[in-house]
Amino acid sequence: MITQGGRKAGQLERQTVLGVAAQLLLLALLGWTVGLGPVGWLTGTLFGVTVCAVLLRSGKPGLGPADKVTLARATLVGGVTALVADAGGGAHIGATVAMTTCALMLDFVDGLVARRTGTASSLGARFDMEVDAFLLLVLSIYLAFALGPWVIAIGGMRYAFVAAARVLPWMNAPLPPSFARKTVAALQGIVLLVATAGVLPGFVNVTLVALALTSLVWSFTRDVVWLWQSRPRCGRVGSVPAARYPGRSRATLP
């Protein structure tokens, strides 16, 4: 979603400064309303600065309309991260659920904006995916306090995939588009949000999260098997013709 069109020099720098300012403003609001200690402030600030630093390293002159939505979503994820880091399993549920809900809703909006404005790009899609993955990781850590450490597998699986791809180059090959993969990915955020809200009995939350994890394991396993079986056809990483899977992304979150 980071656009390919030309922009005047310095625009991205100004946009990232505004991004950091928005993150600090959200942290201040959380501190005033629900309370935020030093750990939360440090974690939230570090998250916001890191996101903007990565965007600056992209080499693009500016953020497009969809990228700005994704950056706003990243700011909300930074707020959730700050609350969880500050209070662990005792994070303020109301604020955590509210920001997570908004972040998940904006996940639909930024894709819609990218398509409507014709500003979608592979780099922007990667930015969007990284925000999604980190939110799942944070929610998994939060729920681990109540449901057990096994929940962290939901948030950690994508990072394990990336780590494995560093030593197994064939795992970097492009994957074909998959409605099932997208559905499983969307399911993770919804289930973790419901479990975080605590509106259902404990055993129901455990069951739902376990089913979500099972579907995620299935999705990753299916993709890994496909990549393994496609090794002779893919050859070296990046050798798959781009026209074979139009609009596809690299192997990432299912």
Q: What is the pLDDT of residue 62?
A: 83
Q: What is the pLDDT of residue 232?
A: 58
Q: What is the pLDDT of residue 88?
A: 75
- Pair 103, 135: CB distance under 8 Å: yes
- Pair 74, 131: CB distance under 8 Å: yes
pLDDT, averaged per 10 consecutive residues of the chain (254 residues), comes to: 51 92 97 92 97 88 89 97 87 92 93 86 86 97 95 97 94 90 94 95 96 97 94 50 34 40
Distance between CA 21 and CA 47 in Å, rounded?
A: 12
Task: Note the pLDDT tens digit of each residue in 98-115.
Answer: 999 999 999 989 888 988
Secondary structure (3-state) at 82: helix
Q: What is the pLDDT of residue 58?
A: 83
For 74, half-sphere exposure in the C-beta direction (CA atoms, 13 angstrom radius) is 30
Task: Note the pLDDT tens digit of each residue in 148-173.
Answer: 999 999 999 999 999 999 999 999 98
Length in residues, the chain: 254
- Torsion angles phi and psi, residue 2, rounded to 5: -80, 120
Q: What is the pLDDT of residue 9?
A: 45
CB atoms within 10 A of CB 79: 27
